[in-house]
Amino acid sequence: MKRASVAVIPAAGFGTRFLPATKAVPKELLPILHRPAIEFIFDDIVGAQIPESVLITSENKSALAMHFSEAPNLESHLQSNGSEHLLEQHQNLLSNTTIKYAIQDRQLGLGHAVLQAEQLVGDRPFAVLLPDDILLGGSSFLTKMLAVSAQLKGSVLALKRVPPDMISRYGVVSASQIAANQYRIHGIVEKPSIHDAPSDLAVIGRYILPPTIFHILRSTPSGALGEIQLTDGIAKLIESEPVFGLIVEGDHYDVGTPQGMLACALTLGLEHAEMREHLLEIFRKWSQK
Ligand code: UTP
């Protein structure tokens, strides 16, 4: 498979686990410290030198496109008081990837969201990054996934071992190990019960996929939760093309839940020289209560 030159980011979901915060503000723009969650995903894309991205949004999430468009008034205000650095990291992301948009007009599931990228992706292999999954240091992991896909000539999914009580929240694979941290995937099932789970290897929101998946998704019926599942499309793909798994490296946070987002923010805060002492002080006070 050729190296994926485009990334697809499905961000059209309702984000119900963050209501009421997400009634007007897209989940992907909620801040982790001072940065919107979605920028961590673009860190990975830009770091892995993927030059083009397709963001899947919905009609009522136009703030996402606004976030990535130019803001001349704000920029001239920052210039006039010498604080351009406040937007520097953001501008660097913008100048290193081209962002295109596709609208998912009905929230019919992740597989359906990915399908909305078909026209913009065309016949190229592509990466899918779910903004709910933040991997600190994730650009080197995405680079590794791209390299494994090119070397083994197949799709690659990010995998993580999860405890039994968590397994029913994920897509879960049956797989055989082929090298350290690398697996050949034989089957995949979405949100299995503990008893039906084929292993403890869950799929995390990073995928390298071939364009043939679009054809498959077009005829994939609704599955778990009544949604068109990407997992079901991949299960079909496995019948005709090799699919591999790579165990995630680096800290992984599920920022699709308030507690996961808080854990990610706390970790980054504790790594931040100026915030660290302040946070430790709060913890000290609490441990004395
Ligand atoms: P989730 O179901 O975990 O996220 O979908 P959600 O719908 O945004 O949030 P909750 O569950 O209501 O709290 C995983 C990813 O797939 C995208 C979501 O935006 C999220 O990034 N997605 C899901 C779509 O783009 N379209 C869909 O129809 C469903």
CA of 30 to the centre of ligand 1 (A): 15
Taking the whole predicted model, whether its pTM rises above 0.75 is answered as yes
Percentage of residues in the chain with pLDDT exceeding 90? 92
- Verify whether ligand 1 is closer than 6 Å to residue 64 (CB atom): no
Percentage of residues in the chain with pLDDT exceeding 70? 100
| pLDDT one-digit tens code per residue, 78-127 | 999 999 999 999 999 999 999 999 999 999 999 999 999 999 999 999 99
- Verify whether ligand 1 is closer than 6 Å to residue 223 (CB atom): no
- Verify whether ligand 1 is closer than 6 Å to residue 260 (CB atom): no
Ligand 1: which of 8, 9, 14, 229 to mutate, most ligand atoms within 8 Å of CB? 14
Mean of pLDDT values over 147-157: 96
| pLDDT one-digit tens code per residue, 22-54 | 999 999 999 999 999 999 999 999 999 999 999
Q: Please, what are the domains in the chain?
A: 6-256 (3.90.550.10), 257-289 (no CATH)
Instruction: Give residue 250's pLDDT.
Output: 84
Is the confidence at residue 222, as pLDDT, over 90?
no
Write the DSSP string, the chain.
Answer: -PPP-EEEEE--S--GGGTTGGGTS-GGGSEETTEEHHHHHHHHHHHTT--EEEEEE-GGGHHHHHHTS--HHHHHHHHHTT-GGGGHHHHHHHHH-EEEEEE-SS---HHHHHHTTHHHHTTS-EEEE-TTEEETTHHHHHHHHHHHHHHHTSEEEEEEE--GGGGGGSEEEEEEEEETTEEEEEEEEES--TTT-S-SEEEEEEEEE-THHHHHHHTPPP-GGGS--HHHHHHHHHTTS-EEEEE--S-EEETTSHHHHHHHHHHHHHHSHHHHHHHHHHHHHHHT-
